Amino acid sequence: MNMQSYFPVPPGVGMEENFLSLDDILLSHERLPVRSDCAFPRLGFLEKSADTQDIAEGTKMELPLWLTKGLYEKKRKVVSVELPKVYREGWRTVFNADPNVVDLHKMGPYYYSLGSQLLHFDSPENPDIAQTLLQTFIGRFRRTMDSSQNAYNEDTSAVVERLDSLEKGLFRSGQIGLNGFQSWEKGQATQLTASSLVLNYRKRKITDIQP
Amino acid sequence: MSDTLFDDGSEQDDIQEDVMTPAELIAKLEEAWLNEKFSPELLESRSEVVECVMEQLTHMEANLQRVKKGDAKASVHRMEIDRIRFVLSSYLRSRLQKIEKFFPHVLEREKSRGDSYPSLLSPEEFAFAKEYHANTESYLKAVALKRMPPNLQTVDMLKAVPEPCLDSFVFLRVKERQENILVEPETDDQREYVVDLEEGSQHLMRYRTIAPLVSSGAVQLI
Amino acid sequence: MTTSSGPWSDCMPASLAAREILCVVNVREKSHQTRPNQTNKMDPSEVEFLAEKETVKIIPNFSLDKIFLIGGDLGPFNPGLPVDVPVWLALNLKQRQKCRIVPPEWMEVEKLEDIREQERKEKTFTPVPSPYYMELTKLLLNHASDNIPKADEIRTLVKDIWDTRIAKLRLSTDSFISQQEAHAKLDNLTLMEINTIRAFFLDSLNCMYKLRSNLQPGSSQGQFMDY
As a three-state string, the secondary structure of A105-169 is HHHCCCHHHHHHHHCCCCCCCHHHHHHHHHHHHHHHHHHHHHHHHHCCCCCCHHHHCCCCHHHHH
A69, A142, A189 ranked by CB distance to C44: nearest: A189
Does the distance separating the beta carbons of B101 and A7 come in below 8 Å? Answer: yes
Instruction: Please give the Cα distance from A35 to A80 (Å, whole number).
Output: 5
How many Å lie between the alpha carbon of B69 and the closest alpha carbon of chain A? Answer: 28
Residues 6+ apart with CB under 8 A from B214: B35, B39, B43, B172, B207, B221
CATH 1.20.58.1030 fits B4-162, yes or no: yes
Distance of CA A41 to the CA centre of its chain: 33
Contact status of C209 with chain B (Cβ, < 8 Å): yes
pLDDT for C69-117, tens place per residue? 999 999 899 999 999 999 999 999 999 999 999 999 999 999 999 999 9
Three-state secondary-structure class, residue A211? coil
Going along chain C from its start, the domains and CATH numbers come out as: 52-102 (3.40.5.50), 107-215 (1.20.58.1020)
CATH 3.50.50.60 fits B165-222, yes or no: no
Does the distance separating the beta carbons of C204 and A141 come in below 8 Å? Answer: yes
Give contacts of B171 with chain A, Cβ < 8 Å: none
Going residue by residue through chain B (222 aa), what tens digit of pLDDT does each one get? Answer: 344 434 444 444 444 455 789 999 999 999 999 999 999 999 999 999 999 999 999 999 999 998 887 788 999 999 999 999 999 999 999 999 999 999 999 999 999 887 778 889 999 999 999 999 999 999 999 998 999 998 888 888 998 899 999 999 999 999 999 998 989 888 878 888 899 999 999 999 999 999 999 999 999 999
Closest CA to C47 of B202, B40, B38: B38
Instruction: Please give the Cα distance from C221 to A24 (Å, whole number).
Output: 17
Cβ atoms of C126 and C115 within 8 Å: the answer is: yes
Mean pLDDT, chain A, whole residue set: 82
Give contacts of B100 with chain A, Cβ < 8 Å: 7
Instruction: Please give the Cα distance from B51 to B39 (Å, whole number).
Output: 22
Cβ atoms of B186 and B210 within 8 Å: the answer is: no
SS3 content of chain A, % helix, strand, coil (to 5): 50, 10, 40
Looking at residue B189, its pLDDT comes to 80
Does the distance separating the beta carbons of B186 and C46 come in below 8 Å? Answer: no
User: Which of C37, C69, C220 would best serve as a mutation to test chain B binding (most B beta carbons within 10 A)?
Assistant: C69
Closest CA to B208 of B176, B172, B179, B174: B172
CA quadruple C127, C131, C134, C140: dihedral positive or negative? Answer: negative
pLDDT for A183-197, tens place per residue? 899 886 555 555 555
**DSSP conformation letters of B104-149:** HHHHHHHHH--TTSPPSS-HHHHHHHHHHHHHHHHHHHHHTGGGS-
Three-state secondary-structure class, residue B58? helix
Same fold across B4-162 and B165-222: no
Instruction: Please give the Cα distance from B134 to B152 (Å, whole number).
Output: 18
Q: Does the N-terminal peptide bond of residue A109 adopt cis geometry, omega within 30 degrees of 0? A: yes
The residue ranking higher by pLDDT, A39 or A150, is A39
Contact status of C197 with chain B (Cβ, < 8 Å): no
CA closest to A16 among chain B residues: B162
Does the distance separating the beta carbons of B97 and A9 come in below 8 Å? Answer: no
Residues 6+ apart with CB under 8 A from C192: A181, C44, C47, C132, C134, C135
Cβ atoms of C50 and C194 within 8 Å: the answer is: no
In C19-88, which ranges are E strands? 55-60, 67-69, 72-74, 83-86
Does the distance separating the beta carbons of C204 and A5 come in below 8 Å? Answer: no
Cβ atoms of C53 and C89 within 8 Å: the answer is: no
Instruction: Please give the Cα distance from B207 to B170 (Å, whole number).
Output: 6
Instruction: Please give the Cα distance from A145 to C173 (Å, whole number).
Output: 9
All structural domains of chain B with their residue ranges: 4-162, 165-222
Which residues, in sequence order, are bridge partners of residue A64?
A31
Please give the class, per CATH, of domain A22-186: mainly alpha
How many Å lie between the alpha carbon of B8 and the closest alpha carbon of chain A? Answer: 39
Give contacts of C201 with chain B, Cβ < 8 Å: 169
Q: Is the ipTM of this complex over 0.95?
A: no
Q: How far is CA B152 from CA A34, A66, A202, C18, C227, in A?
A: 27, 16, 39, 8, 19
Number of Cβ within 10 Å of residue B120's Cβ equals 19
In the DSSP assignment, the letter for residue A210 is -
| Interstrand relation of B169-174 and C99-102 (parallel, antiparallel or unpaired) | unpaired
Looking at residue B11, its pLDDT comes to 43
pLDDT-wise least confident of A9-18, A118-127, B5-14, C88-97: B5-14
Q: How many helices and strands (H and E) does chain C possess?
A: 7, 6
pLDDT above 90: percentage of residues in chain A: 32
Q: How far is CA A133 from CA A119, A139, A142, B32, C210, in A?
A: 11, 10, 16, 38, 11
Its pTM stands at 0.85
A7, A10, A20 ranked by CB distance to B160: nearest: A20
Number of Cβ within 10 Å of residue A36's Cβ equals 22
Looking at residue B72, its pLDDT comes to 85
